Structure 1
């Protein structure tokens, strides 16, 4: 997979920034820069950014939305596939499956997303919606910090969960009652089944002596 990606990136006209655990790679072209760490927020916010390729983690998709960056997802595990499929349905992302990865397909998807302006237009509209807030994040933090100070810790905003005992918080008492009722029903059903079986056995045992007496009378 690494070789396929390296060959694909080497064949692109654009400059590629690739986060890799080593700063060198054999047969890598000059348009690809490798680095162990990259300032992702600054890169996504750069006006010349054309495409963001990643695994599709939740925070990565949020960051791509905020900065208006089209996203090409290569999910590996957990929620990544779901995240990529969700934003793909919104019209500003696409997905690459690892078992189908090859140079031709990978390059085709990259070029489609880079040159097709629809992806960029859709995600930029998403970015505008996300940023359209009554206050900036800095103003929001400042307001609530001062609010808590003004109201001496704002005890009226404290969640009642803080003062709940654990058995009440996790509904242990409720589950115990439900479990007891279920156990009682099962015991009642068991008692009925046992009673029916005994009744049937008693009737069968009574019929056998009666049949034996009839056969003896016939012989006599």
Structure 2
């Protein structure tokens, strides 16, 4: 059975984007700083169709995460920073003609849309019947691999509150953004107990991994 995991970069003060995120600037002001640690890694570059890159412990952790993913779930806000009708020429995401997912991606939305097939094996499926339905479809598509909740914050919180997340991986970046979107703000059900299962330090980022304790997740 597939595990469901969250894997996101986060600032030391808990933000996953900077302030004033928009379609033109989806990570917000200063938000790209959260991902600088990954840009030169060989495993990340390979997913983008690029050659070269560093091979170190950070790269091993990214490669490990990529290898386990069979399907992604994301919110409409992550896909296009919008929430309204798709319009006559619907946006096709931020990732160009060859998105780095290379598999099925289930996008939560209130507005129906036909699946969007892209180069490189990525197909975006637009799900209008809720978070649990999206996860069920993702788990079926993932087979013996795992499902990654890729964002944004609202979808991550919904899945955690519903007791649907098995594991949380945080890439903690040594920066204080001061404003933006916080990952764990306003969780409706708490406290939610976690068990720390790994800590890996590097000069640019600290990798944290937690198991969600199932006996407390739904209390």
TM-score of the two chains, using structure 2 as the length reference: 0.29
Larger C-alpha radius of gyration, 1 or 2?
1
Q: Which has more strand, going by share of residues?
A: 2
TM-score of the two chains, using structure 1 as the length reference: 0.29
Greater relative contact order: 1 or 2 (C-alpha under 8 angstroms, separation 6 or more)? 2
Q: Which has more helix, going by share of residues?
A: 1
